[in-house]
Amino acid sequence: MADISSLPSDPSSLLEAFERARRRIAKASRAAGRSTDGVVLTAVTKTQGDAAVEAALALGQRVFGENRVQEAQGRWSARRAAVADLELRLIGPLQSNKARDALALFQVIETLDREKLAEALAEAGQRLGVRPRVLIQINTGEEPQKAGAAPRDAEALIARARALDLAVEGLMCIPPVAEAAGPHFALLARIAERQGLSTLSMGMSEDYETAIRFGATHVRLGSALFGARPSPNVG
């Protein structure tokens, strides 16, 4: 269960929430026979105010997830210049015409899910002089309303992204809310293994321990760290 009792702007409860999450990550890693430092905690700061963001930075957190480009610009543009080792990861859907803005702010785009976007990212990368780092988002549940490439289209999209010289680092998924997450994580891990990809961004506040069991390298935690979000915004 996500802990919704901690106030996001209270530094001591945020410290407790981070420590609790790190303990659980280490415990789930050990139980899976994995090294305890093989999982990166991505702190999801969408909808959070300055106090929560500053408190997380003060605790040494450096890897953050955001699901909207414009909202993330407001939260991070100025801070990025001040915090050298910040790593911002886009975890929400991206429109092709925002590819350049996204690449200018984020180190990793986790939500590449179609050829047109791969082409837009390649072009934007050339203009900005960076090689885009991407994960391919897979719609493991094949839900019509959800972003992500269908599992059967993964191979072709990965090949296309590699041909465009994008740095394809791995895969990302968001399992259907009403289903057990395990089989979806297992499917993502199978596709990654087949494609020789090492990064698996899977697992959120409610299911990150399960995701670690299936090989997650990045877990994306929002409410487990910062408490319940003020407004619904799950991308």
Which residues would be at the binding site for ligand PLP (CB under 6 A)? 44, 46, 67, 91-92, 174, 204-206, 220-224, 234-235
Element counts in the chain: helices (H) and strands (E): 9, 8
Q: Which two tokens stand for residue 170?
A: 């791995």
CB closer to ligand PLP out of 158 and 224: 224
Minimum gap (Å) between residue 194 Cβ and ligand PLP: 23
Report CA torsion sign: 44, 48, 50, 55.
negative
Task: Using CB positions, name the residue nearest to ligand PLP.
Answer: 222
Whole-angstrom Cα distance, residue 154 to residue 157? 5
What separation in angstroms does the CA of 78 have from each of 2, 13, 41, 74, 87? Answer: 30, 26, 23, 8, 14
Q: β-pairing, 167-172 with 199-201?
A: parallel
Minimum gap (Å) between residue 223 Cβ and ligand PLP: 3
Minimum gap (Å) between residue 101 Cβ and ligand PLP: 18
CB closer to ligand PLP out of 157 and 204: 204
Minimum gap (Å) between residue 224 Cβ and ligand PLP: 6
Whole-angstrom Cα distance, residue 165 to residue 169? 12
Minimum gap (Å) between residue 67 Cβ and ligand PLP: 4
CB closer to ligand PLP out of 29 and 47: 47
CB closer to ligand PLP out of 164 and 212: 212
Minimum gap (Å) between residue 31 Cβ and ligand PLP: 21
- Give the Cα-Cα-Cα angle 222, 168, 173 (nearest 5 degrees): 35
Q: Dihedral angle at the C-alpha atoms of 211, 171, 93, 119, nearest 10 degrees?
A: 180
CB closer to ligand PLP out of 1 and 78: 1
CB closer to ligand PLP out of 44 and 103: 44
Task: Collapse the DSSP code of 201 into the 3-class scheme (helix H, G, I; strand E, B; otherwise coil) and give the result.
Answer: strand
For the chain, helix, strand, coil in percent to 5 are 45, 15, 40
